[in-house]
Amino acid sequence: MYNFEFERPSTVEDAVRALAGDEAQALGGGQTLIPTLKQRLAMPSKLVSLTGIDSIRGVCVADDGAVCVGGATTHATVAREAAAAYPALAALAGQIGDPAVRNRGTIGGSLANNDPSACYPAAALGSGATIVTNAREIAADDYFQGMFETALEEGEIITEVRFPVPQAASYQKFDQPASRFALVGVFVARFAEGVRVAVTGASAEGVFRWHEAEAALAKNFAADALKGLSLSADGMIGDMHGTPEYRAHLAGVLAARAVAAA
């Protein structure tokens, strides 16, 4: 590691002010940032911890039925407190990493980092969630902009994520055994107005919606509706864990499993 300043504000306003300085970076649970600092892949001069801001922690249900998760809420808390209102979201949170990661990592940190193999992006995009920051509200369809890229501006903090609750939903994940990241993960959600299918872990561009599958499932919400559909391997991740063709095939398998489970 190296020397840097550290601040732990107690309000969003104080955090925004602290982040206004040169080379300051927000710190959520640190599950991605701390290893990055150790490898000197990032060297901010100041870390601003968001873990002391009580107003952006916890899970609640809004008047319109949406499940609202504070940006500094840990995965373990989501798994526990969202179980009754949104079981598929809670189940997804319970599959992230191991107990140590789930008790430190936060939903805001995960979405801000937008790792192409992270689980929460699939839940947000598959649910049609709204990412709320200290400055504005961003629809999930507009938020994810490529590998590790989001619509967030410098110094912008995720304060809440609002998840509309679907009629039925499921997340199916084939994880990489060592990291527990998704080799491929598929989140399927059926709403009265249609179906959303979000795929993570497969594409080099990050999470994406599988529109062809959504159209088929809107007509017939059954695993058989996906027979004959396939994703192109173009642009898929290829590494020691699987070829692009393997990931494209696996996405189809997991989508069918998600529909059956939902």
Q: Please indicate, yes or no, whether residues 40 and 159 belong to a single structural domain of this protein.
A: yes
Of 117, 141, 163, the residue at which a domain comes to its end is 163
Looking at the structure, do residues 123 and 187 belong to the same domain, yes or no? no
Domain final residue, candidates 163, 183, 212: 163
Same domain, 138 and 203: no
The verdict on 37 and 115 lying in the same domain is: yes
- The pLDDT mean for the chain works out to 94
The enclosing domain of 257 has a CATH number of: 3.30.390.50
Whole-model pTM?
Answer: 0.94
Q: Which residues is 106 bridged to in the sheet?
A: 74
**Residues 99, 193: one domain?**
no
pLDDT, tens digit, 9 for 90 and up, residues 209-244: 999 999 999 999 999 999 999 999 999 999 999 999
Count how many domains the chain has: 2
Query: What average pLDDT score do residues 42-53 get?
Result: 87
Judge if 146 and 22 occupy the same domain: yes
Question: Within 13 Å of residue 70, how many CA atoms lie on the same side as its CB?
Answer: 19
Name the band, by pLDDT with cuts 50, 70 and 90, for residue 1.
low
CA distance 90 to 182: 16
Residues 142, 24 within the same domain: yes
Condensed to tens digits (0 to 9), the pLDDT of residues 159-218 reads 999 999 999 999 999 998 888 899 999 999 999 999 999 999 999 999 999 999 999 999
Full domain range(s) for residue 213: 168-261
Statement to judge: residues 138 and 190 lie in one domain: no
Do 141 and 173 share a domain, yes or no?
no
Q: 37 and 150: one domain? A: yes
Q: Do residues 237 and 183 make contact, with C-beta atoms less than 8 angstroms apart?
A: no
In whole angstroms, what is the distance from residue 54 CA to residue 186 CA? Answer: 32
Please name which of 209, 231, 224 lies closest in space to residue 256, comparing C-alpha atoms.
Answer: 224
Last residue of a domain, one of 163, 183, 207: 163
Percentage of the chain beyond pLDDT 90 is 83
Please check whether residues 202 and 85 belong to one and the same domain: no
